[in-house]
Amino acid sequence: MRERSLWDEDKIIDTIRAMHNRHLPLFAAYVMENHHRLFSAALRQFSSWPKALVAAGVNQKPRKKRLYRGRSSLLNALSDALERHSLQNVPHVLKLEAAHYFGSLEKAIAVQKKQGNRLPGWNRRKIVDVLSGMHRSNESLAYGRVRREIPALASKCR
State yes or no: pLDDT of 41 exceeds 80. yes
In a domain, 62, yes or no: no
Q: How many domains does the chain have?
A: 3
Q: Which residues neighbour 62 within 8 Å (Cβ) at sequence distance 6 or greater?
A: 48, 50, 51, 53, 54
State yes or no: pLDDT of 52 exceeds 60. yes
The pTM score is: 0.55
pLDDT value for 110:
86
146 and 109 together in one domain: no
For residue 30, the enclosing domain spans: 9-55
In a domain, 99, yes or no: yes
Q: How far is residue 158's CA from residue 145's CA, in Å, rounded to a whole number?
A: 15
Q: How far is residue 95's CA from residue 78's CA, in Å, rounded to a whole number?
A: 9
In a domain, 1, yes or no: no
pLDDT tens digits, one per residue of 108-150: 888 888 876 666 666 666 777 778 888 888 888 888 888 888 8
- 46-53: long-range pairs with CB below 8 Å, 24+: 46/12, 52/12, 52/13, 52/16, 53/16, 53/26
78 and 49 together in one domain: no
114 and 133 together in one domain: no
State yes or no: pLDDT of 152 exceeds 80. no
Q: How far is residue 53's CA from residue 20's CA, in Å, rounded to a whole number?
A: 10
In a domain, 40, yes or no: yes
In a domain, 64, yes or no: no
76 and 114 together in one domain: yes
